[in-house]
A and B are shown apart, each in its own frame.
Chain A
Amino acid sequence: QQPVQSPQAVILREGEDAVINCSSSKALYSVHWYRQKHGEAPVFLMILLKGGEQKGHEKISASFNEKKQQSSLYLTASQLSYSGTYFCGTEGGNAGGTSYGKLTFGQGTILTVHP
């Protein structure tokens, strides 16, 4: 099942902060965050694993609530370059491990940063 992202769109001025949420109805092993600019490939931002480990860009922070199957991406002191569509991708964590590697992406959150 596709995770649900909120909000669908955010408009900011440079320097403002934003939070993008991702919610799943199923148990997750990990959550991945990507940013995509129009006509370009998605770019990896962050991966958060069940158990608390995470890895990603220094200027990006995120959280993963395993009990609620929710993740949030925190964008602080936004810059013009932050504009784009943000996707969360969720990786299921069934015991058989057959869904490892398979990402189900949310519908995306469009972030626009103005000067």
Chain B
Amino acid sequence: DSGVTQTPKHLITATGQRVTLRCSPRSGDLSVYWYQQSLDQGLQFLIQYYNGEERAKGNILERFSAQQFPDLHSELNLSSLELGDSALYFCASSVRGGPGYNEQFFGPGTRLTVL
């Protein structure tokens, strides 16, 4: 158990819908990262927040958005869902956002299935 929690564990929804994935980082961690893992694309970095501020952006679609709240939990919002959005979504946290030792600890993931 990494100490990072994610809810829900599974999510099944239809195309065109909007969902929100939630992540609580390990106690003391200020940085949160979101990743998407699919069979054909591997583990893809989406976005990073550090102490409430967006720090880095990766291959995140415009239909997706995220935020980190004052209590440091984070939410990833996915809208106008398409079949291709079906994937495992991981949240990770680290004490710092870099540089230096910023090893990331991953949550159990949310499996999203879009029908």
Residues in A lying within 8 Å of B, measured CB to CB: 2, 29-30, 32, 34, 40-44, 47, 49, 53, 55, 87, 89, 91, 93, 97-108
Contacts and interface: CB of A to CB of B under 8 A. Distances in A.
Given A87-B43, A101-B56, A29 B108 contact: no
A47 B103 contact: yes
Interface residues of B, number: 27
A40 B6 CA distance: 13
A43 B106 contact: yes
A101 B106 contact: no
Contacts, number: 73
B42 interface: yes
22 contacts: A2-B42, A29-B98, A29-B99, A41-B90, A41-B108, A41-B109, A44-B106, A47-B103, A49-B100, A53-B101, A87-B43, A89-B43, A93-B99, A97-B98, A97-B99, A100-B102, A101-B33, A101-B55, A101-B94, A104-B45, A105-B43, A108-B43
B25 interface: no
Nearest to A45: B103
A105 B102 CA distance: 15
A106 B44 CA distance: 10
B40 to A, nearest CB: 11
Contact of B56 (A44, A89, A99): A99
B103 to A, nearest CB: 5
A34 B105 CA distance: 10
Contacts of B90: 41-42
B45 A44 contact: no
B20 interface: no
Contacts of B100: 49
